Chains A and B, each alone.
Chain A
Amino acid sequence: MKPLRIDSMLAPAALEVRGLCKAFGEKAALCDLGFAIPEGSLTVLLGSAGAGKTTTLRLIAGVERPNAGRVLMCGRDVTELEPKDRDIAMIFDNLALYPNKTGFSNIASSLTIRGTPKAEIEQRVAEVSSTLRIAHVLNRLPKTMSGGERQRVALGRALIRKPGLFLLDEPLSGLDAMLRIELRAELKRLQRDIGATFLLATPDFAEAMAVADTVVMLRDGRVVQIATAQSLYDDPADREVARFVGAPEINLLKAFYEPGILGSIRVAGATITGLKKLRNALPKAGGPFEIGIRPEHLKLSQPEGAPIKAKVFDIEPLGLKSMVTVINEESELRMIVDTDAAGRYVSGDAVGLELVDSGLLAFDAASGVRLG
Chain B
Amino acid sequence: MTGRKLTWPLAFVLFGALIVSLFPVFWIVMTAIKPPTDWNASPAIWIPSHPTLINFKTLFDPDSIRAYGVGGVSQAATNSVFGSLLASVVGTALSVAIGLFAAIGISRYANGGKATPLIILSGRMFPPAAIAVPFVIIYSNVGLIDTYRGLIAIYVAGTLPFSTWMLKSFVDDLPREIEEAAMIDGRSRLMAHVFVTIPLIRGGLLATTLFVFILNWSEFMFALVLSYSNVTTIPVQLARYVTATAGTLYGVQAALAVLAMIPLVLAGLLIQSHLARGMTFGAVKR
Q: How far is the CA of A99 from the CA of B189 in the complex (A)?
A: 19
> Which residue of the partner chain, among A99, A109, A113, contacts B200 with CB atoms under 8 Å?
A99
CB-CB under 8 A from A92, the residues of chain B are 177, 180-181
B45 CB within 8 Å of chain A: no
B112 CB within 8 Å of chain A: no
B185 touches A110 (CB 8 A): yes
Among B128-167, those with CB < 8 Å from A are none
B120 CB within 8 Å of chain A: no
Contact residues on B (Cβ < 8 Å of other chain), bracket: 10 to 19
A90 CB within 8 Å of chain B: yes
B183 touches A83 (CB 8 A): yes
> Which residue of the partner chain, among B177, B186, B199, contacts A100 with CB atoms under 8 Å?
B199
B97 CB within 8 Å of chain A: no
A136 CB within 8 Å of chain B: no
Q: How far is the CA of A110 from the CA of B186 in the complex (A)?
A: 6
B180 touches A83 (CB 8 A): yes
B284 touches A90 (CB 8 A): no
Q: How far is the CA of A113 from the CA of B196 in the complex (A)?
A: 12
CB-CB under 8 A from A89, the residues of chain B are 184
B260 CB within 8 Å of chain A: no
B178 CB within 8 Å of chain A: yes
A82 touches B182 (CB 8 A): no
A113 touches B186 (CB 8 A): yes
**Interface hub of B186, B196, B284 (most chain A Cβ within 10 A):** B186
A61 touches B184 (CB 8 A): yes
Q: Contacts A82-B188, A82-B189, A84-B188; is A96 near B183 (CB within 8 Å)?
A: no
Nearest Cβ in chain A — how far from B111, in angstroms? 15
A94 CB within 8 Å of chain B: yes
A63 touches B180 (CB 8 A): yes
Among B183-234, those with CB < 8 Å from A are 183-189, 196, 199-200
Q: Contacts A99-B284, A100-B199, A100-B200; is A90 near B178 (CB within 8 Å)?
A: no
Q: How far is the CA of A100 from the CA of B201 in the complex (A)?
A: 11
Among A61-86, those with CB < 8 Å from B are 61-63, 82-84
B4 CB within 8 Å of chain A: no
B50 CB within 8 Å of chain A: no
A345 CB within 8 Å of chain B: no
Q: How far is the CA of A292 from the CA of B83 in the complex (A)?
A: 82
CB-CB under 8 A from A97, the residues of chain B are 178, 181
**Interface hub of B182, B183, B184, B283 (most chain A Cβ within 10 A):** B184
Q: Contacts A99-B200, A99-B284; is A113 near B177 (CB within 8 Å)?
A: no
CB-CB under 8 A from B5, the residues of chain A are none
**Interface hub of B175, B181, B182, B199 (most chain A Cβ within 10 A):** B181
CB-CB under 8 A from B175, the residues of chain A are 94, 96
> Which residue of the partner chain, among B178, B186, B286, contacts A98 with CB atoms under 8 Å?
B178
Nearest Cβ in chain B — how far from A242, in angstroms? 34
Q: Contacts A96-B178, A96-B180; is A157 near B199 (CB within 8 Å)?
A: no
Q: Does more than half of chain B's interface fall in helix, strand or loop, or is it mixed?
A: helix
Chain A count of residues within 8 A CB distance of the other chain: 23
A90 touches B181 (CB 8 A): yes
CB-CB under 8 A from B181, the residues of chain A are 90, 92, 96-98, 157
Interface string of A92-124 (1 = CB under 8 A from B): 101011111000000001100110000000000
Chain A residue at minimum C-beta to C-beta distance from B183: A83
Chain A residue at minimum C-beta to C-beta distance from B178: A96
Q: How far is the CA of A110 from the CA of B188 in the complex (A)?
A: 12
CB-CB under 8 A from B199, the residues of chain A are 100
Among B264-286, those with CB < 8 Å from A are 283-284, 286
Q: How far is the CA of A58 from the CA of B184 in the complex (A)?
A: 11
> Which residue of the partner chain, among B189, B200, B286, contacts A94 with CB atoms under 8 Å?
B286
B182 touches A94 (CB 8 A): no
> Which residue of the partner chain, among A61, A62, A96, A114, contacts B186 with CB atoms under 8 Å?
A114
Q: How far is the CA of A56 from the CA of B111 in the complex (A)?
A: 23
A237 CB within 8 Å of chain B: no
Chain A residue at minimum C-beta to C-beta distance from B286: A94
A84 touches B187 (CB 8 A): yes
Q: How far is the CA of A110 from the CA of B283 in the complex (A)?
A: 23
Chain A residue at minimum C-beta to C-beta distance from B284: A99
CB-CB under 8 A from A113, the residues of chain B are 182, 185-187
Nearest Cβ in chain B — how far from A57, in angstroms? 11
B183 touches A109 (CB 8 A): no
Q: How far is the CA of A363 from the CA of B196 in the complex (A)?
A: 52
Chain B residue at minimum C-beta to C-beta distance from A94: B286
In the complex, 22 of the A-B residue pairs with CB atoms within 8 angstroms, ordered by the A residue number, are: A58-B180, A62-B183, A82-B188, A83-B183, A84-B184, A84-B186, A84-B188, A90-B180, A90-B184, A92-B180, A94-B175, A96-B175, A96-B180, A97-B181, A98-B178, A98-B182, A99-B178, A100-B200, A109-B182, A109-B185, A110-B186, A113-B187
* Chain B interface residues toward A at CB < 8 A: 175, 177-178, 180-189, 196, 199-200, 283-284, 286
* Chain A interface residues toward B at CB < 8 A: 58, 61-63, 82-84, 88-90, 92, 94, 96-100, 109-110, 113-114, 157, 161
Q: Which 10 A-B pairs have the closest CB atoms?
A: A96-B177, A110-B185, A113-B186, A92-B177, A83-B183, A96-B181, A63-B180, A84-B186, A83-B184, A96-B178
Sample of 6 further A-B pairs with CB below 8 A, known A61-B180, A94-B177, A109-B185:
A58-B180, A84-B185, A88-B184, A90-B180, A96-B180, A110-B186
